[in-house]
């Protein structure tokens, strides 16, 4: 039985779904990822053969199978195989607790599960802190971990919202994702702009017009800052 077959058995036994956007780290053991890279490298070499590319003599195609396998497992889809980044929570429950809105801008690279083309964009994560806070860089680490999989942008915004909610305990939060899609720009309609926006709002971000406006205004300020205005 190959390593991937063995892992699929474990996933089925544990009842864990293993779609392109799912994380399977909880059934992985030490050394599994390296074994999967070795297996995927051979499979990618097979794909090159089927595409009739002379990977034996073309110096630029030699080793491409292994490069692809490593790139998928360690970079583009790392969020499927690696456990959630640890995010130590700090108490925010004293008299001087922070009660305002916090908005973090996180740059993301993802890929669409339909075409395996790059999705590149930015997530704006807004929360009204509950009784704990996580380090500012952790918002981005969690968002990137959600993005490094095969996703749909609609799913991605939901995934980031759910994981940030889990890590912070916040009830009031919003996630706005703005991204361009390689599958729209590089093939099919070859559109010059594939900019797509998705918004997920929870709690006051959804129900309170003032909070929602503050979040959207903050996003505009962030965008102006990022573009150097
Ligand atoms: Zn696509």
Cβ atoms of 42 and 65 within 8 Å: the answer is: yes
Cα first-last separation, the chain = 58
- Kindly give the distance from the C-alpha atom of residue 61 to the centroid of ligand 1, in angstroms, as a whole number: 25
The pLDDT tens digits for 188-203 are 878 778 899 999 999 9
b/e burial code for range 126-164 (CB count within 10 A of at least 16 → b): bbbbbebbbeeebbbbbbbbbbbbbbbbebbbbbbbebb
Pick the CATH number of 3-81 from 1.10.286, 3.40.1620, 1.10.3110, 1.10.1740: 1.10.286
Q: What pLDDT does 12 receive? A: 98
Residue 229 has pLDDT above 80, yes or no: no
> Which of 210, 194, 192, 212 lies closest to 202, judged by CA?
212
Tokens coding 133: 């806070």
Q: Each residue of 47-105: pLDDT tens digit?
A: 999 999 999 999 999 999 999 999 999 999 999 999 999 988 888 888 888 889 999 99
Tell me how far the alpha carbon of residue 189 lies from the centroid of ligand 1, in angstroms.
12
For the record, the structure tokens of 28 come out as 């992985």
Tally of CB atoms within 10 A around 193: 9
**205/171 Cα distance (integer angstroms):** 9
Amino acid 129: pLDDT = 87
Token pair, residue 18, equals 């293993």
Q: How far apart, in whole angstroms, are the C-alpha atoms of residue 41 and residue 116?
A: 17
Q: How far is the CA of 198 from the centre of ligand 1 (A)?
A: 16
Cα(203) to centroid of ligand 1, in Å?
31
DSSP state string for 60-102: TTTTHHHHHHHHIIIIITHHHHSPPPP--EEE--STT---SEE
pLDDT, residue 51, reads: 98
Cα 120 to averaged position of ligand 1 atoms, centre (Å): 12
Cα(208) to centroid of ligand 1, in Å?
35
Predicted confidence at residue 10, as pLDDT, reads: 98
Looking at per-residue confidence, does 43 or 229 come out higher? 43
Specify the pLDDT at position 102. Answer: 95
The pLDDT score that the predictor gives to residue 191 is 77
From the CA of 37, how far away is ligand 1's center (Å)?
24
Task: Determine the distance separating the centroid of ligand 1 and the alpha carbon of 184, expressed in angstroms.
Answer: 7
Distance 75 CA to ligand 1 centre (A): 18
Average of per-residue pLDDT across 26-38? 97
Say how many Å lie between the CA of residue 225 and the centre of ligand 1: 30
- Start and end residues for every CATH 1.10.286 domain found in the chain: 3-81
Task: Report pLDDT for 121.
Answer: 95
Spatial separation of the C-alpha atoms in residues 183 and 118, rounded to whole Å:
7
- Which pLDDT value is given to residue 188? 81
Could you report the per-residue pLDDT of 129-149, keeping only the tens digit for each?
888 899 999 999 999 999 999
Is the Cβ–Cβ distance between 27 and 14 less than 8 Å? yes
CA–centroid distance, 193 to ligand 1, in Å, is 14
pLDDT value for 94? 86
Question: What distance in Å separates the CA atoms of residue 115 and residue 198, rounded to the nearest whole number?
Answer: 20
**CATH number corresponding to 89-226:** 3.30.1130.10
Report how far ligand 1's centroid is from the alpha carbon of 110 (Å): 11
Q: How far is the CA of 179 from the centre of ligand 1 (A)?
A: 12
Mean pLDDT of the chain: 95
Ligand 1 centroid from CA 28, angstroms: 28
Pinpoint the residues of the chain covered by CATH 3.30.1130.10: 89-226
Q: If you measure from the C-alpha of residue 132 to the centroid of ligand 1, how many angstroms do you get, rounded to a whole number?
A: 37
Q: Which positions ≥6 away from 154 have C-beta within 8 Å? A: 198
- φ and ψ at 137, to 5 degrees? -70, -20
Chain segment 147-159, per-residue pLDDT in tens: 999 999 989 999 9
């Amino acid at each position: 039985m190959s390593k991937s077959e063995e892992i699929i058995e474990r996933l089925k036994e544990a009842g864990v779904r293993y779609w392109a956007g799912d994380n399977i780290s909880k059934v992985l053991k030490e050394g599994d990822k390296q074994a999967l890279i070795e297996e995927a490298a051979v499979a990618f070499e097979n794909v090159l053969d089927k595409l009739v590319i002379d990977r034996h003599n073309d110096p630029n195609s030699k080793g491409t199978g292994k490069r692809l396998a490593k790139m998928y497992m360690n970079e583009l889809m790392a969020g499927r195989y690696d456990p959630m980044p640890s995010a130590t929570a700090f108490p925010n429950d004293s008299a001087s607790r922070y009660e305002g809105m916090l908005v973090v801008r996180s740059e993301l690279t993802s890929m669409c599960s339909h075409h395996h083309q790059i999705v590149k964009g930015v997530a704006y994560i807004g929360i009204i802190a509950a009784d704990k806070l996580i380090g500012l860089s952790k918002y981005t680490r969690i968002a990137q971990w959600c993005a490094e999989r095969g996703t749909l942008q609609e799913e991605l915004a939901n995934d980031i919202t759910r994981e940030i909610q889990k890590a912070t305990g916040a009830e009031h939060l919003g996630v706005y994702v703005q991204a361009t899609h390689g599958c729209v720009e590089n093939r099919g309609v070859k559109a010059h702009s594939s900019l797509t926006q998705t918004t997920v709002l929870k709690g006051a971000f959804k129900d309170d017009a003032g909070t929602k406006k503050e979040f959207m205004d903050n996003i505009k300020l962030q965008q102006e800052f990022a573009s150097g205005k």
